[in-house]
Structure 1
Amino acid sequence: MKFSRKTQEELGFYVYGLVDPRDNKVFYVGKASGNNRAFDHFKAFKNESKKSQKIDEIQADGTKPRVDILRYGLSSEETAFEVEAAIIDSIGIENLTNAVRGHGIERGRITAETVEKLYASAPIQVSDIEECCIAFFIHRTYSPTATEQEIYDCTRQFWEGVSAKKRQDLTHKIALAVVDSIVIRVYSIEGWFEAGATFSSRKRQGYPNNRWEFVGQLMDDHPLLGKKLVEDDGSPLIAVQGGYTYFPR
């Protein structure tokens, strides 16, 4: 199926869901702009993504995914991004085949307790952190509807290029799970292993060289838990290339 030109014009910016007809559940959320992008997912690509695997599974069962339009006639691409991200947060990325939560996640779904900490509690300047920590930025894989095991796993896996000395000597024994500059979980680091060596709730196809994961314990009473991390000028701590950073700097 494809949309006619007239229908494309009427749709404008729109957000769609790919639906498994066997249970009528949305398994992927996307956005498009007056085109047939929603149907491009069904083309025969050599792709091992979770989305492609789900499509193959549905088709192997003798049926095909359905496209549902979730919102259309949106005023701009930015609005479409916001709607897409809100729907992903509502369903929970762990229940979808999307790789990331979407755009605008700094204003995305969080608990009332977290948003209160974000705006009401005194921030911590990262230059004041003296304890040896590793901050892992997990905003792309974190979901407020995730289980504790899932949050733990997306914090500890699968990091590239972690310092061999820090791994072997355990010089940094504290892991901070950071979402939009807020420390949402703190874990002790008991040991490092090659990626894929320990039990995980996350499914991954293969593990590239030089990727690592740690094992540890949740620390409910750490003083940084629930704190907003800021730079010396008061700006929020932002994610760095590679996805993690060491403290003290």
Structure 2
Amino acid sequence: MATVWTVPDDITRVLLAAPGIRDFLTNAEGSGVVSDPKVRLAEFAAVVGALGNNAGRTFSTVRDAAGVLFEGPAVGGVVVSDALRLAVMRVLTAEARERKPAPNPLSPRVVENLGLYVYALRDPRNQSIFYVGVGRGNKIYSHDWDALGEAGTLDSESVGDPDRDEARRAWIQRIRDIYAAGHSVDHIVLRHRIENAHDATAEAREAVHVVTDALRLLERGTGNPILTNLAGEPVDLERRAMSVEELAVQYSASPAPQLPVPGALVRVPAAAHRSLSAEDLYEAARGPWPAGAAARNVPDLPVIVFADNIVRAVYRVRSWNQVGANADQLFRFTGEADPELEAAFVGTRVTPDRAGLKVWPTHGWVQRLTTARPHGR
């Protein structure tokens, strides 16, 4: 059990409401406090900027927090007085946390499906990527095991040159800090099943996809992405970066049973989030969808909801309501969960080929009213 300090997400509001901060800004007393209020305000503004850039981040020691929040480039070279440092540390949330366990090895089946892969390690405290590598087997976990002195590099294979001593020391320290703060490393697979390619254009395009997915991990929100490539949805949805844990779920899952006909499948990316409630999942699954008249006329149409190729829920449609203008032809359904179908399908893996497709459509709606394959497939 260790004490950690967390920067609140609404740090500016918290600071302005803190008596210690108000005293610092209005009084010229305290260790190293200058009498000029403009200088004190400059100190405060510099620290607010550093705190805002680290909102949500946790620190395992006061020294670590000071190095990131009050010194050097973080505050633009401004000298932060002891009085302001103390006032800020008093408003950071302090709590005791237990260290998270190191990750368990991947199953042989998952290792086989991953093949050669490119991966990134991300610090959950501020969503920063601190390492990118390539490997096979459990290489993605080997850094954690090495830093924590557990399990060595079990069933892992490095590709390319080994890390420099300086780089190794850097990621070891970062990983130890993450675990000491009560968190664990985010393990993201950027690309897997990588094979030799001889097409220069294809290699260049793949490089763009990998870089885009890596930058996607740094985006704090999805409403207005900084990287304009992320506007809308990517075409290669099945190949985008995702956590190795989610990939393990996919490759460990059994294939879905025979899909019901007539029926429909809907892709709801938000359904992959474990924090999503049953009510929120149902609201997201309802649409609106470009459901055709034939599908809407099927009594009790079964709708299979999936995300990242894993079935998350199954509903029976009782009615449809049109949404928006007539030209849009979008519809939202009202229905209820089907316990029998959910028992058979939830947690199983469904891929586009099961519906006679090469890739899932970007709009997310797939209706199967006959067993015939789509035209041209």
Radius of gyration: which is bigger? 2
Larger relative contact order, structure 1 or 2 (CA cutoff 8 Å, min sep 6): 1
The structure with more strand, counted as a fraction of residues:
1
Q: What is the TM-score of this pair, normalised by structure 1?
A: 0.49
The structure with more helix, counted as a fraction of residues:
2
